[in-house]
Amino acid sequence: MSPILLKIDGAKVQAQEGMSVWEAAASVGIAIPSLCLHGQLEPYGACRVCMVEVEVKGWTRLVASCCYPVEPDLVVRTRSTKIDKIRKTILELLLAHAPDSPQLKAMGQEYGANPNRFEKEASFCVHCGLCVRYCAEVKKLNVVGFVDRGTRREIGFIPELAAKECWNCKECFPLCPTSALQAAYVLTEALYAPHPFPKS
């Protein structure tokens, strides 16, 4: 299989078929910021922080680099006034949900995002899906999942399963960028009728 040649931020990059633009950029040391990307999980494209500009035959498009496969002669721009502005707005929208998330705050500072630009929406969950996907893809336990849809979508634990599995795992806890997951877990525990979750 011959390597695919593409240009990222002016540098010529060789990539293998099936790689994403994000991976190709990382292979030459260009770091594209991302929130919902995780080494052990399939790319999901939920956070949109990894948005880049790609140029195919003179036409430019905005795509999420974690999900966009490399193609020959692709021209990618990971930093430009336009991209930076889009990332800043995305981060401002995410910060409206979780203004105190350290990860979001650091990224927001880098792009000059104003955390007070949008009215606060105290959902705390930014729907990155890390916990849901980690539980399903890596642990294969399926304890936590998405509930409802649209603006009402949130994460929810299955209480009976959580009582059995979570105390000894909790591997999803450090993944959550906003700590909404931990809150959801504690809430599930508090609402679980028969008895408190076993702590062993």
Binding site for other proteins (CB under 8 A): 132, 135-136, 142-149, 156, 158, 161
Q: CA of 42: how far to CAs of 51, 102, 144, 193, in Å?
A: 17, 24, 17, 35
Number of Cα atoms under 13 Å in the Cβ half of residue 51: 19
Q: Among residues 5 and 187, whose Cβ is nearest to other proteins?
A: 187
Token pair belonging to 7:
């240009």
Output the smallest distance, CB 146 to other proteins, in A.
5
Q: Among residues 19 and 144, whose Cβ is nearest to other proteins?
A: 144
Output the smallest distance, CB 155 to other proteins, in A.
10
Output the smallest distance, CB 64 to other proteins, in A.
22
Output the smallest distance, CB 142 to other proteins, in A.
3
Helix axis angle for 102-110 and 81-97, nearest 10°, is 150
Q: Among residues 67 and 136, whose Cβ is nearest to other proteins?
A: 136
Beta bridge partners of 6: 13
Q: Among residues 99 and 156, whose Cβ is nearest to other proteins?
A: 156
Within 10 angstroms of residue 158's Cβ, the number of other Cβ atoms is 15
